[in-house]
Structure 1
């Protein structure tokens, strides 16, 4: 069971799945962590099993990355995805946790990285339109139901996507300088005019100024990504879903809208 102690195993199930795995009913076939997990998976519905396996896969991925070793299980990713696909086909849509990110093959990831690099060679106007299209393709590749840019009366929205049970509006910028507080406040103003469950993702290839982030403040309904986040995510083959979920969780814990991928997924 990876690096879980009995305490951290119980904490993991409580925080990720809202399940008290220490309940005696899960120890019907034995009290070890493995036997309790097996009993839980054998007796829960398919939706709960998908949620549990997705959370454990994310933890496993981080554990292997921290240890710096190779995956000891041959073809683990495809075997995991096959199991998830079988369970998902039998389960209703889960409102509490998004479906696991599809595992992209190496060639697909290389193609996405190449497109990001190609955009950097374009002129300013063409680059902005191409960047919006790139992001839609990226979100679609990870099953996030992206929408094209659209215009409401008096405002332009660069797109939207679903993450879990929330709808996110997208702001995409490729400027020469880091984004400052004015652009952040403008985007947050758009979010506040929408439904209470609307969230926002601001993607700035040039990053965000430190002064701008400080002035923007904490506790907003916006999370941020920069160009380095995009590149490191693709270079390290971290699913976009996991990156966004980790950013959302850490924003909820700290109030900070921008935390780098390298800090959220230390190697």
Structure 2
């Protein structure tokens, strides 16, 4: 049975959301199951939120995956900062998606 933490729709695009509350930096093996879920669905992108950071190898895996689909990485620290400043979640995600698509940067940290 498959577990999906959430689904977000922004600008008519669907994003499967995965969240990890682990205290250690996430590596490629931690992110790969979410990548597999994305590949099993047509025209679905992904958002991966972590309470910790991502290893350089995980960032590289996600950068390579951008050839196939959009996958943006976020930290819980970014989400908390967004809520504290009462920012717009749609603009936050749009900025991250733009960085993924144009700069091939799956993790562009946004704290302000």
Q: TM-score range by the shorter chain?
A: 0.7 to 0.9
Which structure shows the bigger proportion of residues in helix conformation? 1
- Please, which runs of 5 or more residues in structure 1 have no aligned partner? 1-153
The alignment status of 1:225 with 2:74, answered yes or no, reads yes
Does residue 20 of structure 2 align to residue 173 of structure 1? Answer: yes
CA contact (8 A) 1:188 1:221 kept: no
Higher relative contact order, structure no. (Cα contacts within 8 Å, ≥ 6 residues apart): 2
1:131-170 alignment to 2 at 5 Å? 154-170=1-17
> Cα offset for 1:189?
0.9
TM-score (norm 2): 0.87
RMSD: 1.5
Larger radius of gyration between Structure 1 and Structure 2: 1
Q: Which sections of structure 2, spanning at least 5 residues, go unmatched?
A: none
d(CA) in 2 for partners of 1:208, 1:238: 24
Higher strand proportion (structure 1 or 2): 2
Is 1:183 matched up with 2:57? no
- Paired positions, count: 109
Shift of 1:164: 0.8
1:57-136 superposed matches below 5 A: none
The answer to whether residue 103 in structure 2 is matched with residue 254 in structure 1 is yes
TM-score by length of 1: 0.39
